[in-house]
Amino acid sequence: MLRIIPRNDAAVQGNWQKELANAITDPKDLLQYLQLDPENYQLDIAARKLFPMRVPLSFVQRMQVGDPKDPLLLQVLPQREEFIQAAGFTEDPLEEHQSAVPGLLHKYKSRVLFILRGGCAVNCRYCFRRHFPYQDNSPSKAGWQQAIDYIANDSNINEVILSGGDPLMANDEQLAWLVEQLEQISHLTRLRIHSRLPVVLPNRITTELVELLSNTRLQSIMVSHINHPNEVNEPLRTAFSKLQQAGVTLLNQGVLLKDINDDVDTLTALSEALFSANILPYYLFLLDKVAGASHYDIDEQQAVLIMRDLYQRLPGFLVPRLAREQAGKNSKTPIDIGLS
Q: Give the global pTM.
A: 0.92
Q: What are phi and psi of 285, to 5 degrees?
A: -95, 140
Yes or no: say if 162 and 191 are a contact pair by the CB < 8 Å rule. yes
- When pLDDT is cut at 50, 70 and 90, the band that residue 329 belongs to is low
Closest CA to 268 of 318, 233, 232, 226: 318
Q: Is residue 135's pLDDT more than 60? A: no
pLDDT value of position 133: 55
Q: Is residue 5's pLDDT more than 70? A: no
Q: What are phi and psi of 117, to 5 degrees?
A: -140, 150
DSSP string, 253-293: EEE--TTTT-SHHHHHHHHHHHHHTT-EEEEEEPPP-BTT-
Closest CA to 277 of 304, 237, 247, 243: 237
Q: CA 83, 88, 91: angle at the middle one, nearest 5?
A: 60
3-state secondary structure of 74: helix
Q: What average pLDDT does range 178-186 have in this prediction?
A: 97
Helix axes 172-183, 144-152, angle to 10 degrees: 20
CB within 8 Å of 294: residues ≥ 6 apart: 81, 84, 86, 89
Report the alpha-carbon distance of residue 339 to residue 217 in Å, rounded.
40
Q: Report the chain's mean pLDDT, rounded to a whole number.
A: 90
Q: Is residue 6's pLDDT more than 70? A: no
200-251 pLDDT tens trace: 999 999 999 999 999 999 999 999 999 999 999 999 999 999 999 999 999 9
Q: Is residue 265's pLDDT more than 50? A: yes
90-110 pLDDT tens trace: 877 666 555 678 888 888 889
Closest CA to 207 of 237, 166, 243: 243
Rg of the chain over all Cα atoms, to the nearest angstrom: 20
pLDDT value of position 1: 45
3-state secondary structure of 183: helix
What one-letter code names the amino acid at 115?
I
